[in-house]
Structure 1
């Protein structure tokens, strides 16, 4: 069972973290403004729908922390602040990873229907009938020799 007093304190902490008053917080999670004040005052307990709207609108809020006070807020991954030196190294590493990823994406890959077939050799008697280039927007170009 959720402790209403403790829940209201954690709810207030979320609102303070994002510098929101009850009205703007209610608008952010799409609930009635009176719902916020009733929960903060302890008059009403939060519904599951209310809690899930908070989690959906503010992904940095851990569900278990919001309900039970165990865990952390904001989520640890969201508040990690590297030092300047580590930050520069991390930026460089991220850039290298992105560059490698882009190179892999643009690297030539055989179409699926040819992946398991033997390679054509230059001395083969095969002739090219046509070349078709397909674009991501659904268009194509057809080239005949």
Structure 2
């Protein structure tokens, strides 16, 4: 498994696009694009930024592919994810004893169709009288100029 595959696994685990992943570790999107296309290997700086942001990532695994993906999990055999599918999380604990509520949608107010105001726009074209040149001035680089006037 190459380092680009390990980067992809981290992105999959975090459910991030390449752009969002680059932003999360504070590197240019092109940097991640080059790593994922095998154009470049990640620099030490990129690896350290990744480890700083995702400090549970095992550096040995990231660099060599040996060991577990996460320092917190004993195994990564289930696709690199170190949590069960239906795990409790702090935002949605399943051991709450509150009764489930039946919720239904309630209309706030009925929508009344108001007649739309008709806006009329009128374009008026006015003809101008033909214009004539009355004077031409030519400026020279020595700060002088000449004026030519029509004889009309």
Q: Which has the higher contact order (CA 8 A, sep 6+)?
A: 1
Q: Please identify which structure carries the higher helix content.
A: 1
- Answer with 1 or 2: which has the greater Rg: 2
